[in-house]
Structure formats: structure tokens, C-alpha cells
């Protein structure tokens, strides 16, 4: 009587190696990517106003007055905080109104072109840029970048 041999068949080895390879292919890229910083709260606020415009079918304007962003219509407010400021490059600064237009989101998903920096204030002077926000006019994409 022949003694059965111990070990695995070629088919079993190929199957196990295939499963391990698929798991490595799924997990590997996520281990090598650098951690992405969290989305700044002001960007989340702007994304919500954009969604509001698209869902309501009405344009939503965002204004800055007294260190607070306010949406019209709706009145949703976002306080910048005592140590923050906006350096608005686009749209043009308003001189005669008590509030500065920051963005307009349209129901079709587009937006008024906007560009501004969020600055951290140290005393009475802007000390450093926290991040820059650009709003694309064609598809309303809200792009933010941290300084390098």
C-alpha cells in the first residue's frame, strides 16, 4: 500500500497566490499614498451652497461681512473666526457696499469665477496663508490648495 504524499497540489498553490495577489493589488496603492489633509470647513460651506443652488433651482450668492460668510437666499452663515481673514482677488472688491461678494453659484452647476486666500492673522497683520480657494466658472468646481 502506497503512503499518500503530504503537500499541496499545483492548482491549490496557484489559487492561493492569486487571492493574495488580488488583496495586495487592492491594499498596496492605499499604503503608498500620502495622507490627504482634511477638506477645510470653508470649502465644505461653499460646496453646500453650490448644492443648495442646484437643488433649489435659484442662484445662491455668498457675501463676506464682519468676518462672516453669509448666503443669500437662505442666510446660512459661516464665521471665519477671530484669527482668520480673506484676501479676495476675484470678484472685484466692492467699495460702496458693507459686504463683499465672494461667490455666486447658479442652478446649472456653474459659478462666478472667484479666487481668494484664507489667511491667519497675527495681531493686526496677516501672518501666513492657510490655503487658497479658486472657483471655476465653467463647471463650478471648488479647488483648494495648501501653500507649499
Domain of residue 83, residue span: 41-145
Any domain includes 96: yes
Q: The whole model's pTM is what?
A: 0.68
Any domain includes 17: no
Any domain includes 45: yes
pLDDT in tens, 48-85: 888 888 888 888 888 888 888 888 887 888 888 778 77
Any domain includes 13: no
| pLDDT confidence band for 124 (50 / 70 / 90) | low
Any domain includes 125: yes
| pLDDT for res 85 | 74
- What is the SS3 assignment for the chain? CCCCCCCCCHHHHHHHHHHHHHHHHHHHHHHHCCCCCCCCHHHHHHHHHHHHHHHHCCCEEEEEECCEEEEECCCCEEECCCCEEEEEEECCCCCCCCCEEEEEECCCCCECCEEEEEEEEECCEEEEEEEEEEECCCCCCEEEECCC
pLDDT in tens, 86-119: 777 777 776 667 788 888 888 888 888 888 888 7
Any domain includes 47: yes
Any domain includes 56: yes
Q: How many domains does the chain have?
A: 1
What's the CATH number where 87 sits? 3.55.40.10
Any domain includes 74: yes
Amino acid at each position: 500500500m502506497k503512503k499518500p504524499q503530504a503537500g499541496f497540489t499545483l492548482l491549490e498553490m496557484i489559487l492561493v497566490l492569486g487571492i493574495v495577489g488580488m488583496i495586495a493589488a487592492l491594499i498596496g496603492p492605499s499604503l503608498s499614498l500620502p495622507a490627504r489633509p482634511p477638506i477645510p470647513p470653508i470649502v465644505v460651506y461653499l460646496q453646500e451652497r453650490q448644492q443648495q443652488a442646484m437643488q433649489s433651482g435659484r442662484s445662491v450668492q455668498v457675501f463676506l461681512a464682519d468676518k462672516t460668510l453669509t448666503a443669500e437666499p437662505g442666510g446660512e452663515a459661516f464665521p471665519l473666526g477671530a484669527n482668520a481673514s480673506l484676501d479676495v482677488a476675484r470678484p472685484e472688491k466692492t467699495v460702496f457696499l458693507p459686504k463683499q461678494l465672494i461667490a455666486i453659484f447658479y442652478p446649472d452647476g456653474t459659478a462666478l469665477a472667484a479666487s481668494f486666500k484664507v489667511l491667519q492673522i497675527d495681531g493686526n497683520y496677516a501672518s501666513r496663508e492657510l490655503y487658497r480657494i479658486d472657483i471655476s466658472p465653467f463647471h463650478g468646481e471648488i479647488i483648494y490648495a495648501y501653500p507649499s
